[in-house]
A and B are shown apart, each in its own frame.
Chain A
């Protein structure tokens, strides 16, 4: 009995341990970006973000001027009780008591440092990175040596507002149109009903790439390319099949008696739809809304094609990709910008987790 118990405990230790390791691997990438976005820009480029954790670092305790000591760098020297050549001191020579003697700089004007390993954390946090990416025209940045440099801001605020202006209508419009259609499929009879629904099902997995070239031609002909209307309609078109399918599955299972009693009371289809069906379908609407919201907010390809030519209307994903392209090594901008672009989806994720999971599961087959 006790051996079985021990085996069980060992098993649970293994399960929890393995899971913990997987979680760490899954979380650390995001954590690294998050921590880095608050670090001073010089720190980001000179040390890894993990140096905010306690670690041992060599720090100078004493500086020796080799010329004052009368040392000749071309020969073997004795510094602070340690013997070595210039090359050896350049790489650092460790003394028996754990100190390190390092020659900093070149032969002629270099200095010698006596260093000791000390526990340290690098905790210089700042909001400047966020100020710069969110800022509009220019941003003043003070270098460690005191000089001031003026750098252009990255205008993520404008991109953020543009993304909102694209995402909210691109979420609500397809839901509204799909809900009307789903209601018609579920509760009305009309010629061609079956074939129309077959079209909806067939369009579920069609890759949107198929439509981009012809649509761009239409948009150019209609002169709406590069406008909000163009991209709302595009996202509506690409999300509509799935929205109609999901909402039909939900709306067709609403209790028949409730609707029929409303019709007997003389309500029209429009009234039943707006007063009865829409309120009853909130769970399905919310699930799809979250999926579509994330899909549009995180979309890059559709925005690139239909809003690509106009920097005024750049969205967060485009802004971020542009920074990666032009200043891909400026990690203080990339980290802060990445977090600005993630803040809304993450808020949705933590705030509406149950709907979020349902929405992602339901929306997974989108084309």
Chain B
């Protein structure tokens, strides 16, 4: 043995190194194995347990949050114990991998799978066939689901209603948000006003639907009206109505549902407009006032052009939002009385009628509708040159 070289002295003997290696490998296998086993036990407990609800809740929170953290810690530990070169090579994927895997499984691949399902009849592609066999089978219907989506009476009605939602919902949310932002900016109680208008954003659609159902509550004439709208109408000498179920005025009864989303979304647009308006340089407004422009001229000539970017963002956001509207319609009318929209038809076709081909075609139509926004986002990203 050579004790002269200092380097050699620090190196443990081969046997120790092999033992250490075996130990490391064993540990590297044992820790994940134990961890996975514990996580699996937690899963079984949550699925089958009759423990008090509060215990299940606590276990669920600890298991879910702790489990994910534990997995990262373990995989990072394994990678860091590898040779340096491999650590550098693999560590980024430990960090980015789970996110990409989940994104692929939950959004990216489903777009393709849903499109594939949309080419088949109500039961979807039959199992156990190869692709050429599938294409030749009876369940393959080509694009005929899409033809049905655009021609069936219920779907045409849903598209019409959804267009109403998009047009009225976004226009009024943007208009009210802008008006309130301008008014609040000049009022003595700006903060309070903005909080109260913004508050509905915290409320669920189901909750908001109940709130508005109560406003629209209908009692036959002669009985005391407990819904605010009918009470006002009756005290003014009118006839009470069941507003959302008023089919005589269809499709305009949809407006009584759209009001709910305007009520919810105005706060959002107000907050963004308010921030944008505060960014307008004071000199610009002063200059306009010095020239003797009226407040209306200043609003349309200076303020609106200045906040154009925000206007587009807010408008796009609310359009996408109203395009996918589901909860409000589902809870208020269930789609009856001519109030179905695209998302409620998607739900009804896919899960109530169990016609997965037709339902998937509707989902693809929703996707196509947002593609312009997706392209715009990608273009913005390219221009940023952050990469």
Contact = CB atoms under 8 A, between A and B. Distances in A.
Interface centre among A164, A173, A205, A210 (most CB of B within 10 A): A210
B387 A194 contact: yes
Contact of B57 (A32, A49, A164): A164
A324 B347 contact: no
Interface in A206-234: 206-215, 218, 227-229, 232-234
Given A161-B54, A168-B65, A317 B204 contact: yes
Nearest to A365: B317
Given A12-B186, A33-B210, A162-B53, A183 B107 contact: no
B370 A209 contact: no
A268 interface: yes
A188 B95 contact: yes
B204 A341 contact: yes
Given A48-B226, A213-B350, A229-B43, A237 B106 contact: yes
A12 B295 CA distance: 13
Contacts of B53: 157-158, 161-162
Contacts of A190: 89, 92-93, 96
Contact of B187 (A16, A193, A215): A16
Contacts of B364: 210
A181 B57 contact: no
A353 interface: yes
Interface residues of B, number: 113
A202 B209 contact: no
B16 interface: no
Interface string B354-387: 0010011011101100100110011001000011
A321 interface: yes
A349 interface: yes
Given A193-B387, A241-B107, A180 B183 contact: no
A213 B355 CA distance: 10
Contact of A15 (B186, B200, B359): B186
Given A23-B193, A177-B99, A237 B107 contact: yes
Interface in B99-136: 99-100, 102-111, 113-114, 117, 124
A189 interface: yes
B37 to A, nearest CB: 16
**Residues of B contacting A: mostly:** helix
A327 to B, nearest CB: 12
A130 to B, nearest CB: 15
Interface in A312-340: 317, 320-321, 324, 328, 331, 334-335, 337-338
A342 B324 contact: no
B193 A188 contact: no
A132 to B, nearest CB: 16
9 contacts: A27-B199, A45-B226, A158-B53, A168-B61, A188-B92, A203-B108, A211-B106, A320-B206, A334-B210
Interface of B: 43, 46-47, 53-54, 56-57, 60-61, 64-65, 68-69, 72, 76, 80, 89, 91-96, 98-100, 102-111, 113-114, 117, 124, 176, 179-180, 183-184, 186-189, 193, 195-207, 209-215, 217, 224-228, 231, 263, 266, 268, 271-272, 275, 295, 317, 320, 323-324, 326-327, 330-331, 343, 346-347, 350-351, 356, 359-360, 362-364, 366-367, 370, 373-374, 377-378, 381, 386-387
